[in-house]
Every structure is written in structure tokens, then in C-alpha cells.
Chains A and B, each alone.
Chain A
Amino acid sequence: MTESQYAVILVYSTSHALRAEQVLQQAGIGCRLIPVPRHLSSDCGVCVRFERIHRQAALDALQVAQVEMEGMYDI
């Protein structure tokens, strides 16, 4: 079994997700909006998925841009 290599950022709304996506892209981190995995939240919205190796860089970029998030999880 291959180990999953992604992490996701859970945010409050789709607008926040788009903001986060933009911040990651500007930081050179490839990402994609996907539906929130059911085991993480019952929310019906989207979250931002990116490669786990960029975890710290993503956290830094989001902090600098002051994007609020609910959490970051490996999936």
C-alpha cells in the first residue's frame, strides 16, 4: 500500500478556500480545491489539497497572509 502524500487545509468557507489557494500558488505550492473528506468534517464545502512535503511552507505562507483556517490534516 502506498502511503498517502497529501495534506489538506480546512477553512471556513469556499471564499476562504479560494483565498488560501491563491496564497499557496503565490508561494509556489501546487494545490487543488477538493470536497472536504467526510472523515475530517461534515461540512459540504471544499478544502485545499497540496503535497505534504510543503506543509511548513504552506503554514508559513498562510500565516503571513493572515488567512484563517480551521486546521491542516494529512490525508
Chain B
Amino acid sequence: MIYFDNAATSWPKPPGVADAMTRYLNEIGANPGRAGHRLAVEAARVVYGAREAVAALFNAPDPLRVVFGANVTEAINLALRGYVRPGDHVITSSMEHNSVMRPLRALECEGVQVTMVQCSPEGLLDPADVERSIRPNTVMIALNHASNVVGTLLPVAEVGRIARRRNVLLLVDAAQTAGAYPIDVQADAIDLLAFTGHKSLYGPMGTGGLVIGARVDVERLEPIKRGGTGSRSEREEQPEFLPDKCESGTPNAVGLAGLGAGLRWVSERGVADIRAHEMALTQQLIDGLRAIPGVTVLGGLDANRQTATVSFYIGGMEPSEVGLRLDDEYAILCRVGLHCAPAAHKSLGTFPTGTVRFGLGAFNTSQEVETVLKAVRQLAWEAQ
């Protein structure tokens, strides 16, 4: 079996991940931050360790401004819904996932103005177009770091510099890049970094969060839920300090134990090394697919400018059929369709049919790419 669906979730996970989760369940088990006994403290240490590891990976100065949640979607909702108010203006791109678009469309109905900056058919964004869209009431620019459809990297650092200069916050959806591409929230001028734990950080599902930069006014940031935090228990009002303000209810400590192990694996191997490995495989895949008659590859076709996600279609064969046949006849697992990103597919000209998407990860090999290319060649030949 060949797993080429890492853009949806990475698999397999490094061996330490399941071990850390088993250890938590069998040997720690207590509720972090909810008591002072040894196991509760040990549990809190596990969660705090993951917080520190996230801060270190993204060069965030304060681990207490890393807020954990269920996934990147929750983090994006916190950033948008928690910070933006009716009458405010938000800029986004036409390459966004629905995790950004749906909260924005809902906010639009509540009186928030939204501008969607058009990207090129290759999925590229011109930072000057973003700057031209800034209005006096613009409070935030919400950008996908890399497209989940074609992997194209958006120029976040350039937009970040513009955002700083124009006194606007930059929210980056790093679902496709965190762990797979270097991110430095200070150098890239990212104010709000939303990340997922279960993709390129190699943790389990149910983990993710938001890194909140120093420019973000925490008083203005409204939590999306309120409740018990283990702190300030004498008060019936939500604490005003981070991370507790935005982390109510018992956290997914088992998941965060796994995420901590995933982060350790990523930093030991090194993001640069993972990136180099994935870039080589991506270019091999792109070049191989382009050489097949009847196959059209989407995006910029240059591994240097994208993540390890490649979208394509075969003339004369529906993506759904390609996906089914790859699974049934070749045991190759991928994702087909619109990938929760209708706006991106409209930019690429592949709406509403969608594409076949191969998402590579750190554990894929050059040999697997060759095997997959052979299978696609066979299907494309049959489709002609």
C-alpha cells in the first residue's frame, strides 16, 4: 500500500508518537492544571512541553502565547471570530481553504467587510494586490501559507512586512506548512499562526493551536468558548491571561503528549532536511506526471515554490474514478475532488470537477513515486 494522502493527515507517524500517548494513558493519566498532586503536575508538564516545543519550532518568544485547541480550524475561528468586529475589514486570498472562507462568509453576514484578492491560475499571489486592498478599517489579512490543493506557497513574509507597515495583523493558516517548511513568526512578521498537529508536525488528530504574537491585543481577543481553566477558580468570569483565556475545559492532553513526540521527531530530523526530502520527491512526481500523455498537472510545477502536494487530472477520466481505481487496483491512497477549497479550484480553473491530489510526506520514498507514476501512466493510457 502507498499512502499519498499526507495533505489530509500524515501517516504513518514516527514511532515515538504512539509510545508517548500510551505512556500518558498508562502512567500519567491525570488532568493537567486541575490539581496539585504529582500526576496532575506531570500531566501539566507534558502539555507545557508541547507548548514550548511549538514556540521553539516557530521561533515564538513566549510559550504562554501558544494556545492549544482541537485543530487548525478552531484556531482560525478563534483568530477571526475572536478578533474581528462588525465594521472591520479583512483581506484574504482566492486560494483559501473553507476553514478560512466559511468563518469569513459568516462574519460578512454580521457586518464584516471581506476582500478576496485574486490569485493567478498557478495559484500565485501578488503582495502588491494585497496592499492595494488595504482600507482605513482593515484589521487583518488572513492568508493560506500554502494551498492544500496545489501546494503553492503564498508570500507570507512579504505580506507580513506590508501588514507591519500598515498596522494590520497577519493571520497565517499553516495547515499545510507547519513542520514541512521553515516558519519563523518573528522574521516572517506573522501575528497569528494557526497550525495543526496531525499533518507535518506528525502528532495525532485532535491537536492544533494558535501562536499569538506580541502585536495582538489579548484584551480584544474574545475566546470562542469559556469555562473551567484550573485557574482563578474563585471568579465566575473568564481569566484575561493567556493561555487560559482561550483554553477552557479539559485539554486533549493525550493528544498533546503525542504532538510533543511528533515535534521532537521533527526538530531532531530538522525541518530543512524534511523539506529537502519532500522537494526532491515532489519534483520527481511533477516531472513524471507531466511526461504522461493526457495528464495535466496544476500549479507552478516547481518544487521550490510549493509544498509536497501535487494536483492533476487525466483527460477523459473523472477524478473520482481515478481515485477509486488507484485504490482498488494499485493500493495507492490519495484524495480526489474539491478538497474543501472551492475558491482555490475556481482560481485554478478546476471548479467544479476538482482534481486528483497526491500529498507526499516525510516517510514516502522515490521508489513509491516511481510505482505511482507507472499506475497513472496505465490509467491515462486506458482513458485515451
Q: Shortest distance in angstroms between A6's beta carbon and chain B's nearest beta carbon?
A: 15
Q: Does B249 contact A (CB under 8 A)?
A: no
Contact at B243–A13, with CB atoms within 8 Å?
A: yes
Q: How many A-B residue pairs have CB under 8 A?
A: 67
Mostly, the B contact residues are loop
A-B contact pairs, 11 of them (CB 8 A): A13-B243, A14-B230, A15-B51, A15-B243, A16-B241, A17-B44, A18-B45, A44-B35, A45-B33, A45-B231, A46-B36
User: Could you tell me the distance between the alpha carbons of A34 and B40 in the complex, rounded to whole angstroms?
Assistant: 11
Counting contact residues on chain A (CB < 8 A from B), the size range is 10 to 19
Which residues B34-55 have CB closer than 8 A to chain A?
Answer: 34-37, 40-41, 44-45, 47-48, 51
Contact partner of B64 (CB less than 8 A), chosen from A19, A35, A44, A46, is A19
Q: Which of A12, A19, A42 has the most CB of B within 10 A?
A: A12
Contact at A13–B229, with CB atoms within 8 Å?
A: yes
Proximity string of chain A (1-41) to chain B, C-beta cutoff 8 Å, 1 when within and 0 when not: 00000000000111111110000000000000111100001
Closest chain A residue, CB of each to CB of B62? A66
Residues of A within 8 Å of B40, CB to CB, are: 46
User: Could you tell me the distance between the alpha carbons of A31 and B36 in the complex, rounded to whole angstroms?
Assistant: 14
Q: Does A74 contact B (CB under 8 A)?
A: no
User: Could you tell me the distance between the alpha carbons of A68 and B239 in the complex, rounded to whole angstroms?
Assistant: 14
Counting contact residues on chain B (CB < 8 A from A), the size range is 20 to 34
Residues of B within 8 Å of A60, CB to CB, are: none
Closest chain A residue, CB of each to CB of B48? A18
User: Could you tell me the distance between the alpha carbons of A25 and B44 in the complex, rounded to whole angstroms?
Assistant: 17
Contact partner of B233 (CB less than 8 A), chosen from A17, A18, A34, A43, is A43
Residues of A within 8 Å of B229, CB to CB, are: 13
Closest chain A residue, CB of each to CB of B61? A66
User: Could you tell me the distance between the alpha carbons of A68 and B63 in the complex, rounded to whole angstroms?
Assistant: 13
Enumerate the 9 nearest inter-chain pairs by beta-carbon distance, A residue then B residue, closest first. A35-B36, A14-B33, A13-B231, A18-B48, A42-B234, A14-B44, A46-B36, A44-B233, A13-B244
Contact partner of A13 (CB less than 8 A), chosen from B35, B41, B63, B239, is B239
Contact at A15–B48, with CB atoms within 8 Å?
A: yes
Residues of B within 8 Å of A17, CB to CB, are: 44
Residues of A within 8 Å of B44, CB to CB, are: 14-15, 17-18, 46
Contact at A13–B36, with CB atoms within 8 Å?
A: no
Q: B: which residues have CB within 8 A of A? A: 32-37, 40-41, 44-45, 47-48, 51, 63-64, 229-234, 239, 241, 243-244
Contact partner of B33 (CB less than 8 A), chosen from A15, A19, A42, A68, is A15
Contact at B230–A12, with CB atoms within 8 Å?
A: no
Contact at B34–A46, with CB atoms within 8 Å?
A: no
Contact at A13–B230, with CB atoms within 8 Å?
A: yes
Q: Shortest distance in angstroms between A15's beta carbon and chain B's nearest beta carbon?
A: 6
User: Could you tell me the distance between the alpha carbons of A13 and B67 in the complex, rounded to whole angstroms?
Assistant: 13
Contact at B36–A12, with CB atoms within 8 Å?
A: no
Proximity string of chain A (41-72) to chain B, C-beta cutoff 8 Å, 1 when within and 0 when not: 11111100000000000000000000010000
Q: Shortest distance in angstroms between B12's beta carbon and chain A's nearest beta carbon?
A: 31
Closest chain A residue, CB of each to CB of B49? A18
Residues of B within 8 Å of A12, CB to CB, are: 231-232, 239, 241, 244
Closest chain A residue, CB of each to CB of B34? A44
A44-B36, A46-B44 given. 6 additional CB < 8 A pairs?
A12-B241, A13-B239, A14-B33, A15-B243, A15-B244, A34-B36
Residues of B within 8 Å of A68, CB to CB, are: 241
User: Could you tell me the distance between the alpha carbons of A34 and B243 in the complex, rounded to whole angstroms?
Assistant: 21
Contact at A14–B232, with CB atoms within 8 Å?
A: no
Contact at B239–A42, with CB atoms within 8 Å?
A: no
User: Could you tell me the distance between the alpha carbons of A44 and B33 in the complex, rounded to whole angstroms?
Assistant: 9
Q: Shortest distance in angstroms between A52's beta carbon and chain B's nearest beta carbon?
A: 20
Residues of B within 8 Å of A18, CB to CB, are: 44-45, 48
